[in-house]
Amino acid sequence: MANRIEQVFQELHRSGRKALMPFLTAGDPDLATTAALIREMVSRGASLIELGLPYSDPVADGPTIQASYTRALDAHTTLDGIFAMVRELRRDCHAPISAMGSFSLVTRRGMDRFLDDAQAAGIDGLIVPDLPLEECDAMAAGAARRGLSHIMLVAPTSPWERAARIARQSTGFLYYVSVTGITGERKDLPADIVRHVERLRQETKAPVCVGFGISRPEHVRQVTAVADGAIVGSAIVRRIGDMAGRPTAEVVRCVGDYVAELVAALP
């Protein structure tokens, strides 16, 4: 049976639509605000949510997301708290949620316990950017047994043979990193995104989504002209950080307005 990620992409494909996938850090500034932001973004048209699991040594994350992880950890955010928040959210929010976090978080808890807890909470997919292809079999198999997607990343610098293997291994969707380097807002995106995404499509039946550097409606239009979805993170996280100390309702409304602007750019 298809999980929520697969179901959403099937529905989008049938209707000829594309996905906007916002990213936010769990617990920044607190878990209650995270839950409110997820509900708001879904109500404004987001198809899926990517939820960052804060960690003291971020992987591939630029200063904006690193700072959000620090804020979340300073607020005493824990994995147990995140899972409890998602479990409560599932009472009324059914949008797919993929969790992105370091493999250290998995090994510290124990892989089986981590996967069991993620499944029980209502997480639909896992993105572990520091788990290499050569070492991912156990994680992929454990996720599959629990109906969780194991979402993998392909960088533009990946040798083609390796990129193709990653594309065939990824489930739920394939995450194509649009730029080399770390996360963060960019003025322009590389012109070769179309070529790379079209080539990856020949290697996988999974949807292909593009992230890193996407922050403007024109970026969303550019990548979804060929990809199945656009992932937007740092621009959202920056807005949350810039509004530190403001009323939660104001933060939620600001982020919701921005997400609605990006959704309007989808084809």
Within 10 angstroms of residue 26's Cβ, the number of other Cβ atoms is 28
6: which 2 tokens?
């697969």
30 is catalytic: no
Q: Out of 6, 28, 50, 185, pick the active-site residue.
A: 50
Q: Out of 6, 30, 40, 61, pick the active-site residue.
A: 61
120: which 2 tokens?
């029980």
* Sign of the CA dihedral with 230 first, then 212, 243, and 50 last: positive
| 233 closest CA partner among 214, 210, 220, 251 | 214
Backbone phi, psi, residue 253, to 5° = -65, -40
Residue 166: exposure state from Cβ atoms within 10 A (0-12, 13-18, ≥19): buried
Percentage helix, strand, coil for the chain under 3-state DSSP, each rounded to 5: 50, 15, 40
61 is catalytic: yes
Q: 52 near 103, Cβ under 8 Å?
A: no
H/E segment holding residue 82: helix 79-89
Q: Which residues have a catalytic role annotated?
A: 50, 61
